[in-house]
Amino acid sequence: MAESGEIDPGVAGEDPGYLAAVIDLLGVISYGEVTAFERLAEDAKLAPTMQDKMALATMAATELGKVAPLHQRIVELGGDPYEAMAPFGRAIDEFHRHTAPADWPEGLVKAFVGDGLADDFYREIAAFLDPVTRDLVVTSMDEDGGHAVFVVDRVRAVIAADPKVGGRLALWGRRLMGEALTQAQRVAADRDSLTALLTGGVDRPGLDLAALGRMFTRLTERHAARMAELGLDS
């Protein structure tokens, strides 16, 4: 582990463009986790029982727990965690402002679909990272299994009790995906370094347009699979 301010030897040979991109990426993931904590803690208020509230509160705390190692890696790469997060505040805050759940089932679907989408995207991008950062990103995505089961059970029970809700939640899932893409596009347009991480640089192979298209297809397919798991059309 590198000391604060001293660049990690594992990425010492990397070009400054790569370092800036990785710090950006860790910054956007960190900010996403902090706001996921805030929103899940907020949405836990909608829970119909204390058991449900505890489950969502525990998901919130799990998201927050991912932030410290991401911040530590930013420091190892010579960055400042709070400066790294700052550029992404607007897009992520807007996403949440536009997707405030109206009730408990919407909150559950958002927790499941939002977290799943973010994880899928980070796993895709992880392929372009140095091994230490890649392991950190992938490991931090793998801790949510138990919570996902809880959400699937609850959403299926809600739909079983009142099948009409399924149609509304299916639309809600589409809106979540649409808002996520809108804000992701904004981030991509604003942050050239992040885009370059995917599309490559002088010495670094990247994705061409066809490969980017395939990645996008994979993300939407996995979103559809998640919606199906909840018993919802996508």
The binding site for a second copy (CB under 8 A) comprises 34, 37-38, 41-42, 44-45, 49-51, 53-54, 57-58, 60-61, 64-65, 67, 82, 85-86
Q: List own/partner pairs for 136-139 with CB under 8 A and 24 or more apart.
A: 136/69, 136/70, 136/73, 137/25, 137/26, 137/29
Instruction: Name the residue nearer to a second copy (CB basis): 57 or 194.
Output: 57
105 Cβ partners below 8 Å, 6+ apart?
A: 154, 155, 158, 165, 169
Residue 141: both structure tokens together = 């995505």
Cβ of residue 93: shortest distance to a second copy, in angstroms? 12
For the bound state, the minimum distance from the C-beta of residue 126 to a second copy, rounded and expressed in Å, comes to 24
Distance CA(42)–CA(39), nearest Å, equals: 5
CB nearer a second copy, residue 27 or residue 116: 27
CB of 64 to a second copy, least distance (A): 5
Backbone angles phi, psi at 194, to 5 degrees: -65, -45
Q: How far is the CB of 89 from a second copy (least distance, A)?
A: 8
Q: 82 or 216, CB closer to a second copy?
A: 82
Q: Which is nearer to a second copy, 81 or 105 (CB)?
A: 81
Question: How far is the C-alpha of 2 from the C-alpha of 73, rounded, in Å?
Answer: 9
